[in-house]
Amino acid sequence: MSEPALLQGRIVAAHGRHYSVEMAPRGDIRQCYTRGKRSGLAVGDQVRVRPEGQEGLIVEVLPRRNLFYRSDANRSKLFAANIDQLLLVVAPEPEFSMDLVNRALVAAASAGVPVHILLNKADLPTVAQARQRLQGLADLGVPITVLSALDPAAVRRLLSPLLRNRSSLLLGQSGMGKSTLLNALVPEARAETGALSAALGTGRHTTTHTRLHPLPQGGTLIDSPGFQAFGLQHLSAHDVARGFPELAAAAEECRFADCRHRHEPGCAVRAGIERGEIQPDRHALYLRILEENAAGERY
């Protein structure tokens, strides 16, 4: 008996170890699963599927351009694969965490993914203060767009050129307005959610964590669950340093080649902080991530 031919598709939603795969070339959705304990698949992955009735078994993941993820202690959370940019949503209320923003920037740098910050809730008077908090990142070259998700027409006008024909991952802490933004950009997002859940079988409550939406202007927008932590255990010290280019540049002038920029004499990074050229909170986060990762390795 011959094996059925393999099909190819793209993962558009992940629910635990079950995946919705958009099949080439027609774009129909097939519910697929992986065998055994295999997880490690992400929305945006191109996969080969062996059809099994109406469903399918994922037998292979094609090589990725990139994979954006976080890792806390022993667990990795894969956000998306093969993305062109990360759209990081922040807001003045509830006050965004600079620590989480910087961590997402480090993960993006090591995955080779450019970041664009969306400062949402521009209608609130506290937005000016929030914009001020972001100035240090703007100085490092991170683009920032200030907008209000409550004005969907303006959101579309501001973001369409950025989104067109690209695969973008929308990421943010809970409460920043990510869902409201998504609904402004993908009006059918709510309806789609219902349709895909129905395709998974009635009566089963499914929480979908991450989902890829086609955009009217071409391109895709990947929605991910809000997060309150952002571990970077998967990064080597070298990767972490890549996330802090301003420290790496200064470090060229440190007296010792293996300077860790703590208390070493002749440390150009610390000198840069004293001159106000390097932000102390970024330096502190750099040290904290290295410490966390060193502690993680002991287990």
Neighbours of 108 (CB within 10 A): 22
Ramachandran bin of 210, using left for φ above 0, alpha for ψ from -120 to 50, beta for the remaining angles: beta
Q: How far is the CB of 267 from Zn ion (least distance, A)?
A: 3
Neighbours of 203 (CB within 10 A): 4
The bridge status of strand 46-52 relative to strand 7-15 is: antiparallel
114 touches 143 (CB < 8 A): no
Report the candidate in 94, 216, 129, 230 with the shortest Cα–Cα distance to residue 171: 230
Stretch that binds Zn ion, among 57-65, 83-91, 203-211, 259-267 (CB under 5 A): 259-267
Q: How far is the CB of 67 from ligand GDP (least distance, A)?
A: 23
- Pair of tokens at residue 255: 């007296």
Q: Assess whether the previous peptide bond of 245 is cis (omega < 30° from 0).
A: no
Choosing among Zn ion, ligand GDP, none, which partner's interface includes residue 146 (Cβ < 5 to 8 Å by kind)?
none
Q: How far is the CB of 94 from ligand GDP (least distance, A)?
A: 9
Q: Of all residues in this chain, which one has the CB nearest to ligand GDP in the complex?
A: 177
Stretch that binds Zn ion, among 93-101, 148-156, 187-195, 248-256 (CB under 5 A): 248-256
Choosing among ligand GDP, Zn ion, none, which partner's interface includes residue 267 (Cβ < 5 to 8 Å by kind)?
Zn ion
> Can residue 254 be called a binding residue for Zn ion (CB under 5 A)?
yes
Choosing among ligand GDP, Zn ion, none, which partner's interface includes residue 121 (Cβ < 5 to 8 Å by kind)?
ligand GDP
Q: How far is the CB of 114 from ligand GDP (least distance, A)?
A: 21
223 vs 246, beta carbon nearer ligand GDP: 223
> Can residue 271 be called a binding residue for Zn ion (CB under 5 A)?
no
Q: How far is the CB of 181 from ligand GDP (least distance, A)?
A: 7
Neighbours of 199 (CB within 10 A): 15
Between CA 175 and CA 198 the distance in angstroms is: 27
**Contacts to Zn ion by CB under 5 A:** 254, 259, 261, 267, 269
